[in-house]
Amino acid sequence: MHAELSALRDEVFARNPGESEFHQSVSEVFEALDPVVDRHPQYVEAGILHRLCEPERQIIFRVPWADDQGVVHVNRGFRVEFNSALGPYKGGIRFHPSVYLGIVKFLGFEQIFKNSLTGMPIGGGKGGSDFNPAGRSDGEIMRFCQSFMTELHRHIGEHTDVPAGDIGVGGREIGYMFGQYKRLTNRFEAGVLTGKGLTWGGSLVRTEATGYGAVMFADSMLRTRGESMDGQRVLVSGSGNVALHAAEKAAALGATVVTASDSKGYIVDEKGLDLELLKQIKEVERGRISEYAERRGGHVRYVEGGSVWDVPGTVAIPSATQNELDDDAAKTLLNNGVKAVSEGANMPSTEAATHLFVESGILFGPGKAANAGGVATSALEMQQNASRDSWNFDYTHERLEQIMRDIHDRCVETAEEYGTPGNYVAGANIAGFIKVADAMLAQGLV
């Protein structure tokens, strides 16, 4: 690593102690930037890298709420508004017990480059809370969302910061937060949140976009080697929104999706997942993945615990959470003949696993490129809100496909230009960085 980059990375680690996920995301970006720093010394001279690693604003607040028994709980809320060089801050809100400042900063930092790659005019940010929605009633979730938005509303707006959903935050939670924002501000400001209901400002394809986009990216990678998703044996981790729609799109393109998982274990369905049954269990009943095996029949294997990556497959789409796929899992996938890995989640591969995939020469699409379909379609939702318009499914889907193809091609071309042909990690990080860095240079020392 270039001396200036290495020194700055050490400084970032020292200034942000204990935030391992943030450290990991910074390291991945910096490892790609050696040829950029050599070719463009003005980025170092203008302190672009120093400024990029320091969020423009970090907001931490108390979220008090009462459960159905009247017991008072206090959670912690976060919003990290990382970089607005390209547009208003844009990024999801995550409700999960694991959320702390380091997680939100890692997600916000990744979002800068992901949003840049989409070509849309959006900056990078992220938010969340350590609230656990699992097992909570609709009333409890509504009261929590209202309390959360009571503070957050001061800091967001369609020209300032536009949150969306993430883990633990779907259409229900977005609805409760939007209602509270409207009540507090006396404005029906549709563009302040994305992922809204279709009858009040939402966009078709937004629900499917992250999972669909990860598969589109995988298909584009395979086509560089004369293949496609058709006929592939696909491994998907997770069983949330991203995983379900990645499986749906892969099946539509002719692949056989054989796995899904949750925190308790995973299933292997050699006949291909019955997506209607899986959606019923996970989205409607909010049940466990084991129930799929019980209902589907004897040919389905359920494994409690373990690693879904032990199952042989040709394409892997990790879609659960960060660092779910470690170096041992990467070695197993490679030994089993995986051809392509397309990250549906944010940074689901550990640093060691990422290095193994890149060094092996397989097709590896990093999350900031492969899972950009969600935020890209959020930006399309913002366009529709701004014009008081609503697009049909086919038109929006075509826009998503074009954006994902453009991201793929930009990664390929940039990797080639900077001396690392076929390296999607380098291509994504360099392409995303340069667009933001140039905008920061143009806007002066702010």
- Has 90 been labeled as part of a binding site? yes
At residue 144, what are phi and psi to the nearest 5 degrees?
A: -65, -50
CB-CB contact of 356 with 182 (8 Å): no
- Has 124 been labeled as part of a binding site? no
- Has 427 been labeled as part of a binding site? no
- Has 111 been labeled as part of a binding site? yes
Catalytic residues, by residue number, are: 126
- Has 378 been labeled as part of a binding site? yes
- Has 24 been labeled as part of a binding site? no
- Has 241 been labeled as part of a binding site? yes
How many angstroms separate the Cα of 314 from the Cα of each of 252, 256, 257, 309, 354?
17, 10, 10, 11, 17
Give the residue ranges of the annotated binding site.
90, 111, 114, 165, 210, 241, 378
Give the residue ranges of the annotated binding site for NAD(+).
210, 241
